[in-house]
Structure 1
Amino acid sequence: MFSGSIPALVTPFRDGTLDEAAFRRLIDWQIEHGSKGLVACGTTGEASTLSNAEHHRVIEICVEQAAGRVPVIAGCGSNDTQNALLHMRFSRKAGAAAGLCVAPYYNRPGQAGLIAHFSHLAENSDLPIILYNVPGRTVTDIEPETVCELATKYPHRIAGIKDASGDLSRVVDHRMGISKDFCQLSGDDELALPASAAGAVGCISVTANVAPALCCEFQQACADNDLVKARKLNDRLYPLHYAMFEDASPAPVKYALSRVHDWMTPQVRLPLVECSDAAKKAVDEALEHAGLV
């Protein structure tokens, strides 16, 4: 269903509120430079600081502006199952192609709780689900056996996974335990190359916010099994992947976008603040290394 370079879009702010004009320009720029899908209201989109009304408006704008040119994956995760279902039902009506559902954070459910949570979502909405495993943020790990059980039980609902566990062996675990239609997407830009070799078909990317064309070209080289080209592009992007996390994300990527486009601001919402001078220096050097400034 999904493949290639899929940016986890930032949510632009200006004077503390959603900058709709900048968001629409960002969407168009991403599509024009080859992005194969868009994620709205993911972690990079600062979903945790958006009200439900803002959250739904961001998804609505993204679907409207994309206008069917690429699929939109709507961030629907919550540590409250019913709120996640609310997001999924709205996103389905808005026209999203799938919902990105993170493992419930803070509550720290066990594997039985995760199965119950995702089963409830799968049984009460017909929006395809992309599981999102990022234990570094949620402190909850969707273990491979749980992923395989859910994907096997709900083959028409659990469509894939964005894996940001950092454990590359899981790509093979999932591939061996689930049908070939299950979509595996890397959640870590710096691991996208080895993940592709193991069987991933794309990346939900932070770096693609600021380097959509390069990330798309890199993912195409991976799909073509052109390792020489993929490695060359990966080397060009590699410092940028790490610079995006030199400070609390998404502050560095918003700063990077403000360097590339005068219609973007580096503003983030509390409790985040704009990135440090040291992070800005790392971003500046990585942008230069990639040939983006």
Structure 2
Amino acid sequence: MFKGSYVALVTPFKKDGTIDENKVRELVNYHIENGTSGISPCGTTGESPTLTYEEHKKMIKIVVEEAKGRIHILAGAGSNSTREAIEFTKFAKEVGADSVLSVCPYYNKPTQEGIYAHYEAISKEVDIPIVVYNVPGRSGVNILPETIAKLAELKNIKGVKEAGGSVDQVCEIIDLCGDKIDVLSGDDALTLPMLSVGAKGVVSVTANFMAKEVSDMIKYFENGEIKKAQELHKKLFRVHKTMFIETNPVPVKATMEMLGKISGDVRLPLVRLKDKNKEILTKVLKNVEII
């Protein structure tokens, strides 16, 4: 069900700190025009921790409205409160999202049993395809492959965004789950290695401004044009790494500001990219002829 390049969409802000709706709509059309498979608003890259509930819902609604069914919408609907995750998931379905991305509960560090119970509760409450998001660096806990395999038995758990940084873990998930669940890379730099062991795509930060390149790399791999996929991976690799020179989404927003796409403003406690890191970023982007 899930394959290709899904963009982890940034949330553009105006100078007064409010959501820039016009820029959101422009970004949706940019991705439709450049081969992106799906748009994922309100994830970590979308600064979901600092969006109000109303803003979170507004972002999903704007993206769905502007997409008009032309592209898959994988709406961020996670929370470390199961009750809130259910609320966001219900809303996403109500406004017409195609699926939801549901992050592992963060900060409260549930056990594997608690993680399973969290997703089971969401699955029972809302009939919509769910992609489990495993990101130990943010959540403080790793969803083990055995837990993913158990979740894959639930009728609407259809995918996992794996951002644990381990190709071994992806291999274990695929070995345990077979074709019951689609694996998407949650780490741009590991997308091609993960594809090589059976992953189907990526939820990408870099695709915010290199949508065609990220999408093409996956298409080349799918078509057996491995050398072309490798060449694009090589071009993209240093860009991917630079997107995490500071906390995501600070570097990607700085990049998009350089390209004239959006303001580089982020919400506290995040701050703008440091000057010394902006110099590094600029050099990398020049090397790949993005600027």
TM-score of the two chains, using structure 1 as the length reference: 0.97
Divergent runs of 4+, >6 A? none
User: What does residue 176 of structure 1 align with?
Assistant: 175
Contact 1:133–1:161, Cα closer than 8 Å, also in 2? yes
Whole-angstrom CA distance in 2 between matches of 1:49 and 1:279: 24
Contact 1:257–1:264, Cα closer than 8 Å, also in 2? yes
Counterpart amino acid of residue 97 in structure 1: D
User: What does residue 213 of structure 1 align with?
Assistant: 212
Q: Deviations over 1:206-253 (max 9, x none)?
A: 000010111111111121222211111011111110111111110110
User: What does residue 198 of structure 1 align with?
Assistant: 197
Residue 181 of structure 1 deviates from its aligned partner by 4.2
Whole-angstrom CA distance in 2 between matches of 1:12 and 1:282: 23
Q: Deviations over 1:38-61 (max 9, x none)?
A: 001010000000000000000001
Whole-angstrom CA distance in 2 between matches of 1:75 and 1:83: 12
Residue 70 of structure 1 deviates from its aligned partner by 0.9
**Which SS does the other structure have where 1:18 is aligned?**
coil
Residue 259 of structure 1 deviates from its aligned partner by 1.2
User: What does residue 274 of structure 1 align with?
Assistant: 272
Residue 114 of structure 1 deviates from its aligned partner by 0.5
Whole-angstrom CA distance in 1 between matches of 2:179 and 2:224: 18
**Which SS does the other structure have where 1:100 is aligned?**
strand
Whole-angstrom CA distance in 2 between matches of 1:4 and 1:289: 26
User: What does residue 60 of structure 2 align with?
Assistant: 59
Whole-angstrom CA distance in 2 between matches of 1:131 and 1:159: 8
Contact 2:152–2:180, Cα closer than 8 Å, also in 1? no
Residue 128 of structure 1 deviates from its aligned partner by 1.1
Which stretch has the larger CA shift, 78-87 or 211-220?
A: 211-220
Which stretch has the larger CA shift, 215-224 or 48-57?
A: 215-224
Q: Deviations over 1:94-143 (max 9, x none)?
A: 11111111110111000010011110011111011100000011101110
Whole-angstrom CA distance in 2 between matches of 1:208 and 1:57: 22
User: What does residue 117 of structure 1 align with?
Assistant: 118
1:115-264 matches, cutoff 5 A: 115-152=116-153, 154=154, 156-261=155-260, 263-264=261-262
Whole-angstrom CA distance in 2 between matches of 1:180 and 1:149: 14
Residue 179 of structure 1 deviates from its aligned partner by 3.9
Contact 2:48–2:56, Cα closer than 8 Å, also in 1? yes
Q: Which runs of 5 or more structure 2 residues have no equivalent in the other structure? A: none
User: What does residue 9 of structure 1 align with?
Assistant: 9
Whole-angstrom CA distance in 1 between matches of 2:24 and 2:277: 24
Q: Deviations over 1:57-103 (max 9, x none)?
A: 00001111111111101101100000000000000001111111111
User: For this pair of structures, how many residues does the alignment match?
Assistant: 290
Whole-angstrom CA distance in 1 between matches of 2:247 and 2:275: 13
Whole-angstrom CA distance in 2 between matches of 1:216 and 1:289: 20
**Which SS does the other structure have where 2:151 is aligned?**
helix
User: What does residue 263 of structure 2 align with?
Assistant: 265
The Cα RMSD (Å) is: 1.0
TM-score of the two chains, using structure 2 as the length reference: 0.98
Whole-angstrom CA distance in 2 between matches of 1:127 and 1:274: 36
